[in-house]
Amino acid sequence: MNKYLLRGIIGTALGLALCTFGLYLMDVEFRGYKWILVIGVVVFGFGFLTIIYSLIRKIERRSLLDERKKTTTNTDG
């Protein structure tokens, strides 16, 4: 598990927790629930995008390694 995937999972979980807490505050009729919901959505979005970024990096790294492997095999033979 690389650092981007870990950050993404933590960000997504924290965003979901903040949104759930914001919905709870809305039920209790606390006036500041809107800011908690906004922060939760932003943190969730950042975490989700970080997960996607880590997956793209993983695919790109594999393709680069395959390309280098093909290049070294073609020059040796």
Q: Is it the case that residue 4 has pLDDT exceeding 70? A: yes
Flag whether 75 is in a domain. no
Compute the average pLDDT of residues 33-48: 96
3-state SS class at 55: helix
Q: Among candidates 41, 43, 42, 21, which has minimal Cα distance to 32?
A: 21
At residue 21 the predicted structure's pLDDT band, cuts being 50, 70 and 90, is: very high
Compute the average pLDDT of residues 15-33: 94
Flag whether 8 is in a domain. yes
Number of domains in the chain: 1
Compute the average pLDDT of residues 45-64: 92
Token pair 């492997």: residue: 69
CB atoms within 10 A of CB 50: 20
Compute the average pLDDT of residues 54-64: 88
Write down the pLDDT at residue 8. 95
Residue 65 sits in which domain range? Answer: 3-70
Flag whether 24 is in a domain. yes
Flag whether 76 is in a domain. no
Mean pLDDT of the chain: 91
